[in-house]
Amino acid sequence: MNSKVLSVSSLNNYIKKIIDADFILRNVNVQGEISNFKAHTSGHLYFTLKDEGSRINCVMFRQERQKLRVLPRDGDKVTIRGRVAAYVQGGTYQIYVDDLQSEGTGDLYAKFLQIKERLAREGLFDETRRRPIPPNPQKIAVITSPTGAAIRDIIKVLRTRHPGQCLVIYPVQVQGETSEKEVIAALARINQRQDIDTIIIARGGGSIEDLWSFNSEAMAYAIRASRIPVVTGIGHDIDFTIADFAADLRAATPSQAAELTIPNRMDNLGQILDKKRRLRQLMEARMRQEKSHLVMNLRFIRQNDPRTILVNEMKNVSDHKERMAQAIRLRLDREERRLERATSLLSAYNPYNVLDKGYAIIQNESNEVLKTVSSLDAAHMFRIRVRDGEATYQKGEKLNGIERETN
Which domain-ending residue is among 89, 105, 121?
Answer: 105
Domain assignment of residue 291, yes or no: no
pTM: 0.51
Domain assignment of residue 154, yes or no: yes
More confident call, 311 vs 399: 311
Both 100 and 128 in a single domain?
Answer: no
Both 13 and 121 in a single domain?
Answer: no
Both 99 and 227 in a single domain?
Answer: no
Confidence class of residue 405 from pLDDT cuts 50, 70 and 90?
A: very low
Both 142 and 239 in a single domain?
Answer: yes
Q: Is pLDDT at 390 greater than 80 in this prediction?
A: yes
Q: Which of 74-78, 179-183, 237-241, 312-316 has the highest mean pLDDT?
A: 179-183
Which domain-ending residue is among 85, 105, 125?
Answer: 105
Q: Is pLDDT at 197 greater than 80 in this prediction?
A: yes
CA–CA distance, 121 with 114 (Å, rounded to integer) = 11
Both 93 and 203 in a single domain?
Answer: no
Both 119 and 242 in a single domain?
Answer: yes
Structure confidence by residue, pLDDT tens digits, 340-354: 888 888 877 777 777
Q: Is pLDDT at 108 greater than 80 in this prediction?
A: no
Both 186 and 224 in a single domain?
Answer: yes
Domain assignment of residue 259, yes or no: yes
Both 233 and 364 in a single domain?
Answer: no
Note whether 198 and 140 are within 8 A (CB). Answer: yes
Percent residues over pLDDT 70 in the chain: 94
User: In this predicted structure, what is the pLDDT of residue 395?
Assistant: 72
Q: What is the DSSP letter of 213?
A: G
Q: Assign 33 to helix, strand or coil.
A: strand
Both 89 and 190 in a single domain?
Answer: no
Structure confidence by residue, pLDDT tens digits, 20-38: 888 889 899 999 888 888 8
User: In this predicted structure, what is the pLDDT of residue 84?
Assistant: 94
Confidence class of residue 2 from pLDDT cuts 50, 70 and 90?
A: low
**How confident is the model over 267-292, as a mean pLDDT?**
83
CA distances for 214 relative to 56, 235, 296, angstroms? 24, 11, 70
Both 53 and 140 in a single domain?
Answer: no
Q: Which of 392, 336, 387 is nearest to 360 (CA)?
A: 387
Domain assignment of residue 386, yes or no: yes
Residue 179: its H or E element: helix 179-191
Which domain-ending residue is among 105, 129, 161?
Answer: 105
Both 126 and 250 in a single domain?
Answer: yes
Domain assignment of residue 269, yes or no: no
Q: How many domains does the chain have?
A: 3
CA–CA distance, 378 with 380 (Å, rounded to integer) = 7
CATH code (residue 148): 3.40.50.261
Both 30 and 164 in a single domain?
Answer: no
**How confident is the model over 217-221, as a mean pLDDT?**
93
Structure confidence by residue, pLDDT tens digits, 319-328: 888 889 899 9
User: Whole-angstrom distance between the N-terminal and C-terminal Cα of the chain?
Assistant: 210
CATH code (residue 56): 2.40.50.140
Q: Assign 137 to helix, strand or coil.
A: coil
Q: Give the structural domain span for 134.
A: 111-263
Domain assignment of residue 296, yes or no: no
Domain assignment of residue 403, yes or no: no
Note whether 243 and 214 are within 8 A (CB). Answer: yes
Domain assignment of residue 126, yes or no: yes
